[in-house]
Amino acid sequence: MSTRGKPRILLMHYILDPGPAILAEAGEVVPYPPDRPLDEASIRQAAEGCTGIVSQLMDPIRETVLSTPGLKIVSNVAVGFDNIDVAAATANKVMVTNTPGVLDDATADFAFTLLMTTARRVVEADAFTRSGQFRGWEIDMMLGADVFGATLGLIGVGRIGRGVAHRAKGFNMRVLYYDPNPLPPDAEQQLGATRVDLGRLLAESDFVSVHVPLTQETHHLLSTPQYGQMKKTAILINTSRGPVVDEAALVEALNAKKIAGAGLDVYEREPAVHPGLVVLPNVVLAPHIASATTRTRSEMSAMAARNMATAVRGGRPPNLVNPEVKR
């Protein structure tokens, strides 16, 4: 609580309208000093006396932070919350919220954008054209991979994976999926998606797109053995979390031509990108922008602010990740 009796809310980073107004109405907003490092000890120091923290995916919110006396809620401005130790939050009776749903379409659009861009070598073609190398049409210039009618393998069919499957229908793609939780039969039928094991998905897909959260089980889900199972012509797309993909092994697989290319929005050690990826022309690299449309980022900001406002007023925020804290 602040001296004026309003709950103090630590805002780790700038958020978009209408988020700031919602937060200002709910409490006293304390911006995290922009020049302070994002380590646990520094965040803990800034969180002293705060009831809530509005965090983003680059903020390590672990035991050191979660044990801050008086802390009631961490509202993450993201659907993923692997930056937060939820078990430690629950043990400290701290609510954790996220922003599900509002970013599904933007993220699915972007997964498809990466798929198309990588398949048809758009980034290479743009650089080629800008640099004045285009001297006229050539029969074998910038040959790429067909998308229409190809096989798409989805690893994970939560909301975003299903969104990608939906888009794939328009491209007449055969859709395979791997997920421990099968889709209901009517959803499978509607999306034209067939559940298979990971080995078959990797062996048969022209494009493999990853849509799973980062957990202990999904860490390095794709590594050397899995790349070895993929078609030599296959393209890997990752818009989920970097560490799901073993990046060093991916560089090796690309260099050894075990697979044909990759379109990546996320990295193992963001913002660092494996130097072996940067030099490869058959890889498209984006700076974690899959949800970055004006509307989506604004809705994420609003949703995170509303989660915070509800919690500091004593309510149960709608997007509670650890409901056992607030029965």
Burial (Cβ within 10 Å: 0-12, 13-18, ≥19) of residue 210: buried
12 makes contact with ligand DGY (CB under 6 A): no
| Residues 180, 173 contacting (CB under 8 angstroms) | no
Binding test (CB under 6 A) with ligand DGY, winner from 15, 78, 245, 284:
78
295, 306 in Cβ contact below 8 A?
Answer: no
Interface segment toward ligand DGY; rule CB under 6 A; list 12-20, 77-85, 112-120, 182-190: 77-85
The distance of closest approach from Cβ of residue 79 to ligand DGY in the complex, given in angstroms and rounded to an integer, is 4
Q: Which helix (H) or strand (E) holds 201?
A: helix 198-204
- Encoded one letter per residue, x for contact with ligand DGY by CB under 6 A and - for no contact, window 291-320 reads x-----------------------------
Select from 119, 179, 132, 131 the least CA-distant residue to 155. Answer: 179
Select which of 62, 159, 220, 288 is catalytic: 288
| Cα 53 to Cα 183: distance, rounded to the nearest angstrom | 35
Q: CA–CA distance from 155 to each of 10, 186, 205, 222, 307 (Å)?
A: 36, 19, 11, 10, 29
Touching ligand DGY, residues 82-121 (CB under 6 A): 103
Kindly tell me which of 54 and 234 has the beta carbon lying closer to ligand DGY. Answer: 54
- Cβ-Cβ contacts under 8 Å for 203 (sequence gap 6 or more): 229, 230, 231
Q: What is the DSSP letter of 193?
A: E
- Choice between 61 and 150, CB closer to ligand DGY: 61
Comparing CB distances to ligand DGY, the nearer of 51 and 218 is 218
Measured between alpha carbons, how far is 287 from 141 in angstroms, rounded to an integer?
Answer: 28
* In the complex, least distance from residue 295 CB atom to ligand DGY, rounded to whole angstroms: 13
For residues 103 and 262, which CB has a smaller minimum distance to ligand DGY in the complex?
Answer: 103
The beta strands (E) that lie in 163-258 are given as: 174-178, 193-195, 207-210, 235-238
The two three-digit tokens of residue 195, written as one number: 């559940």
Residue closer to ligand DGY, measured from CB, 79 or 202 = 79
Rg (CA), the chain: 22
Q: CB 73 → ligand DGY: shortest distance, Å?
A: 18
Q: Is 288 a catalytic residue?
A: yes
Cβ contact 195:178 at 8 Å:
yes
Pick from 20, 80, 158, 192 the residue near ligand DGY by CB under 6 A. Answer: 80
Contact 224, 246 (CB under 8 A): yes
Question: Which of the residues 121, 241, 274, 306 is marked catalytic?
Answer: 241
Stretch that binds ligand DGY, among 74-82, 114-122, 162-170, 180-188 (CB under 6 A): 74-82
Q: Is 84 helix (H, G, I), strand (E, B) or coil?
A: strand
Pick between residue 68 and residue 238 the one whose CB is nearest to ligand DGY: 238
* Beta carbon of residue 3, minimum distance to ligand DGY (angstroms, whole number): 35
Q: Which two tokens stand for residue 146?
A: 């067909």
Minimum CB distance to ligand DGY smaller for 84 or for 251: 84
Binders in 45-64 for ligand DGY, by CB under 6 A: 57
Minimum Å gap between C-beta 109 and ligand DGY is 13
- Total residues contacting ligand DGY by CB under 6 A comes to 6
Of 286, 237, 296, nearest to 262 by C-alpha is: 237
| Amino acid at site 286 | A
The correct pick among 23, 79, 176, 260 for binding ligand DGY (CB under 6 A) is 79
74 binds ligand DGY per the rule CB under 6 A: no
Rule CB under 6 A: which residues touch ligand DGY?
A: 57, 78-80, 103, 291
Q: Which residues are catalytic?
A: 241, 270, 288
